[in-house]
Amino acid sequence: MCGIVGYLGKKALLPLLVQSLRQLEYRGYDSAGLSWFDSQSNQLKTVKATGKLQNLANALPPELMQETDATHPAYQLGIGHIRWATHGTPTLDNAHPHHSQNGEIVLVHNGIIENFATLKQDLQGKGYVFRSETDTESIVHLLEETMKQTAENTPFIDILRQTKQQLTGAYALTVMHQGSPERLFATRQQAPLVVGIGLNNDEFWVASDVVALVAYTNKVLYLEDGQLVELSPEGLKLFDADGQALSPRVETIVTGPLTIDKKGYKHFMLKEIYEQPDVVRNALSGRLSAVDAPIALENDAPYRSKQHGDSLPKTLDALVADVDRLVIIGCGTSYNAGLVAKYFIEQLVRVSVEVEAAGEYRYRQPVLTPKTLVVAISQSGETADTLEAIRQAKTSGARTIALTNRPDSSMAREVDAVIDVRAGVEVSVCATKSFVAQLVALQLLGIFMLEQRTPALPAQLALLPSLKQALLRIPVQMEAMLSDVDTYHKLAKKYAAYPSFLFVARGINFPVAMEGALKLKEISYIHAEGYSGAELKHGPIALLDEKMPVLTLLAGGSVFDKMLSNCQEARAREAQVIALTNEPIPDGYADTFMDVITYPACDELLSPLLSAIPLQLLSYYIAEHLGKDVDQPRNLAKSVTVE
Ligand code: M6R
């Protein structure tokens, strides 16, 4: 989704801004732009381009792009943006940065201004001419108008604060004003924004994600909702929404390396699929050490300090003790991971689990009690619907946990506790390793809850040693699976031309079927749906004929036989039935399956960790065979920060 960068300092400006934007590129975008202060002409300059960031780099003045840090004794100042269209198509006019009518103010914006239509009408009535279809343009004209209505020499930070009071919605803004040539201004409201601070407090970066500035500094200030910041060679000034000066809480980033590198793979998605054995090892490390040792799960909440009046972090055992209901919320792949967890936790821990898409949950009035534990699953920790849903749960008095790959995210900063899924940076828009890491973290949470429960459930506890043993075996089993690529090449070639797929499963693999369908549709644009085998006869079977591939997940265990019957029903309608199984197919089924993909036998409760991988590989190779943009599929963004 949209990305913001900004810089104030003595480094070569344009190469730095482009490089920072490149770090955000993976999030999905359709146009890009930069503005900078040109000290020779005393003017703000802007260059924009549609399409890939390279188009912007090519359009920038070559002499400025060739500058090196050594060539710059003076302060440089600039902002940049990649845009994912919400209001208006991806055109040059709609790309950011946007200028005020008098050309003296320029800004970049992430988020959505919900009252933009009213603001626009009002501003048009005052003579402002809109050049774009964006909601963003209303902010920049409003800044100019506020300036006109305010006493001369009012500091620009106050103009920004007053303008902000008139905005409704979610936004992160970074602004430059011609009258303040060595100053960068920024503010946020329900959209992330972080400031990077140079060693001597006289050099600053602004970014919507720390990934964009981590190459330059590890000292950061995460802005909180409502806060405004003014950056200048004299230092950083932080204000609350009322204009009161605040003392900034500067943190040293403690997250692992945030490097973005394909490491020789053709696509990030393939690299991330192959990282999964290590992702599981990493997720288990220090948490599951031996089959007879309890799970050690800690609150991975980001840095908190008494100096800033934070309450002490809650421990996970305190949060899960005496919980009588679990509610899991998430979107897309994270939602599917929650559905798998429902089967796992209800069966093992005997606690009721509800799972709901966060975008629906937030507009209901769910029943929550102080004994309800609400777990928000989000790779990015920034998904707007999930963030708002967990906020509401917290306000309603429930206990809250964020299960995320980004313990530095907005979500992680607002909940009682955090479980870091430890997948490492996931660049491909299509979630793969984060799904598997989420599953492992949820399994650990389930086992942890069972071990903390009073009164204890001896029969359930007796299941744990073999389950833990099976979990520890998963990385090696994954490695064995990943050594076979030919199968997927062949299947991709055979099935890529089919316009529609069904993924069918039952039990704990039903959500994996949904996840498989999501993978295929998002990167190959082939229509696909995940269905429960039990539901097949209630409608979707009408779709089946020789033109419909039906990929069936036949995990050994409680529903294997039921699934075999569903496969026969599909084959009887001449569907192209493909089996994905970790159990020998019984005699008599030779004609049922067109193709059989096998994977290692494992505990049924853990089978989603393995069954997900062939579906990821099949989707990957089909998309690759079709020549699709695998890592940045059309219309999609890595982090969905707007509703
Ligand atoms: O960052 P989140 O986990 O909150 O993202 C949720 C979804 O947008 C995400 O899982 C999406 O469905 C994936 N791109 C699917 O591969």
Do 397 and 488 fall into the same domain? no
Locate tokens 């359009």: which residue? 59
Task: Compute the distance between CA of residue 371 and CA of residue 235 in angstroms, rounded to an integer.
Answer: 46
Domain boundaries, position 173: 2-252
Spatial distance between the Cα atoms of 73 and 183, rounded to a whole number of angstroms: 17
- Name beta bridge partners: 230: 185, 237
Report if residue 171 sits inside a domain: yes
Dihedral angle sign, alpha carbons of residues 83, 84, 87, 91 = positive
Q: State pTM to two decimals.
A: 0.86
Examine residue 259 and state whether it is found in any structural domain, yes or no: no
Question: 642 pLDDT exceeds 80?
Answer: no
Concatenate the DSSP letters of all residues of 230-290 into one string: EEETTEEEEE-TTS-EE----EE--S-------TT-SSHHHHHHHTHHHHHHHHHTTT---
Please report, for residues 68, 76, 108, 204, 413, the alpha-carbon distance to residue 10 in angstroms, rounded to integers and kept in the order given.
10, 6, 21, 10, 32
What CA–CA distance (Å, rounded) separates 378 from 333?
Answer: 9
**Closest ligand 1 atom number to CA of residue 434:** 3
Q: What is the CATH number of the domain that holds 611?
A: 3.40.50.10490
Task: Check if 2 is active-site.
Answer: yes
CATH number for position 14: 3.60.20.10
pLDDT of residue 199: 86
Are 555 and 457 within one domain?
no
Q: Whose CA is nearest to atom 8 of ligand 1?
A: 332
Residue 305: pLDDT above 70?
Answer: no
Whether residues 238 and 368 fall in one domain: no
Judge whether residue 242 has pLDDT over 90: yes
Pocket of ligand 1 (CB under 6 A): 331-334, 378-380, 383, 386, 429-431, 518, 522, 639-640
Atom of ligand 1 nearest to the CA of 638: 14
Q: Phi/psi at 401 (nearest 5 deg)? A: -130, 140
Question: Please, which pLDDT band fits residue 309 given cuts at 50, 70 and 90?
Answer: low
Question: Could you tell me the distance, in angstroms and rounded to a whole number, from the CA of residue 241 to the centre of ligand 1?
Answer: 32
Q: Which of 99-113, 126-140, 310-324, 449-463 has the lowest mean pLDDT?
A: 310-324
Mark whether 578 and 520 lie in a shared domain.
Answer: yes
Contact 540, 639 (CB under 8 A): no
pLDDT higher than threshold 80 for residue 28:
no
* Nearest one of 531, 527, 540, 475 to 501, comparing CA atoms: 527
- Token pair of 303, please? 């840095």
Query: Which atom of ligand 1 lies nearest, measured to the CA of 330?
Result: 4
Instruction: Say yes or no: 45 and 161 in one domain.
Output: yes
Residue 259 has a pLDDT of 61
Residue bearing the CA closest to ligand 1, atom 4 = 378
Ligand 1 centroid, distance to 294 Cα (angstroms):
31
Concatenated DSSP letters of 153-179 = T--HHHHHHHHHTT--EEEEEEEEETT
3-state secondary structure of 503: strand
> How confident is the model over 67-92, as a mean pLDDT?
84
- Are 371 and 425 contained in the same domain? yes
Question: Pick from 252, 283, 314: which residue ends a domain?
Answer: 252
pLDDT of residue 256 exceeding 80, the answer is no
Task: Count Cα neighbours of 29 within 13 Å in the Cβ-side half-sphere.
Answer: 28
Q: Is residue 261 part of a domain?
A: no
Are 185 and 136 part of one and the same domain? Answer: yes
DSSP H helical segments within 109-152, as ranges?
116-125, 136-148
Averaged over 461-474, what is the pLDDT? Answer: 97
Structure letter (DSSP) for residue 498? -
Residues 6+ apart with CB under 8 A from 523: 269, 430, 619, 620, 623, 628, 630, 633
Q: Is residue 182 part of a domain?
A: yes
Q: Give the model's pLDDT for residue 374.
A: 97
- For residues 373-390, give the mean pLDDT: 95
AA letter at 595: D
pLDDT number for residue 306 = 41
Which two three-digit tokens encode residue 438? 């989420």
Separation of CA 636 and ligand 1 centre (Å) = 10
pLDDT, average across residues 277-296: 96
Which residue, 481, 496, 521, sits at the end of a domain? Answer: 481
Per-residue confidence (pLDDT) for residue 307, from 0 to 100? 42
Residue 206 sits in the same domain as residue 298:
no
Structure tokens at 113: 């201004």
Q: Residue 190: its pLDDT value, please?
A: 86
Please check whether residues 286 and 197 belong to one and the same domain: no
Pairing of strands 169-177, 98-99: unpaired
Q: What tens digit of pLDDT does each residue of 183-208 get?
A: 999 999 988 999 999 988 889 999 99
- Report pLDDT for 220: 94
468 and 512 housed in the same domain: no
pLDDT at 62: 93
The reported pLDDT for the residue numbered 303 is 59
What is the spatial distance between Cα 636 and Cα 16, in angstroms, rounded to a whole number?
26
- Asked whether the predicted pLDDT for residue 600 surpasses 90, the reply is yes
Residue 331 annotated among the catalytic residues of the structure: no
> Are 602 and 472 members of one domain?
no
**Do the beta carbons of residue 436 and residue 477 sit within 8 Å?**
no
**590 domain-assigned:** yes
What average pLDDT does the segment 254-276 reach?
82
Quick one: what percent of the chain has pLDDT higher than 90? 81
Distance CA 167, CA 173 (A): 12
Atom 11 of ligand 1, residue of closest alpha carbon = 332
200, 230, 205: which is closest to 215 by C-alpha?
A: 205
pLDDT attached to residue 200: 86
Task: Say if residues 379 and 385 touch (Cβ distance below 8 Å).
Answer: no
pLDDT above 80 for 73: no
Question: Would you say residue 258 lies in a domain?
Answer: no
Q: Give percent helix, percent strand, percent coil of the chain, each to the nearest 5.
A: 40, 20, 40
CA–CA distance, 607 with 144 (Å, rounded to integer): 59
- The minimum-distance atom of ligand 1 relative to the CA of 639 is 1
Q: What is the largest CA-CA distance in the chain?
A: 88
What count of Cα atoms within 13 Å lies in the side-chain half-sphere of residue 571? 17
Task: Tell me whether residue 263 is in a domain.
Answer: no
Burial of 73 (0-12, 13-18, 19+ CB in 10 A): exposed
Give the rounded percent of residues in the chain with a pLDDT score beyond 70.
97
Contact 429, 620 (CB under 8 A): no
User: According to the model, what pLDDT value does residue 258 have?
Assistant: 55
The answer to whether position 633 is within a domain reads no
The pLDDT score that the predictor gives to residue 310 is: 59
Domain end, chosen from 252, 279, 299, is at: 252
User: For 517-556, how does the pLDDT look when each residue is reduced to its tens digit (9 = 90+)?
Assistant: 999 999 999 999 999 999 999 999 999 999 999 999 999 9
Mean pLDDT (the chain) is 93
CB neighbours of 268 closer than 8 A, spacing ≥ 6? 26, 262, 427, 428, 631
Q: Which amino acid is at 547?
A: K
CB contact at 8 A, 341 and 334 = no
Same domain, yes or no, for 272 and 403? yes
Task: Please state, in angstroms and rounded to a whole number, the distance separating the CA atoms of residues 298 and 313.
Answer: 10
CB 602 within 8 A of CB 610: yes
Q: Count up the domains in the chain and report the number.
A: 3
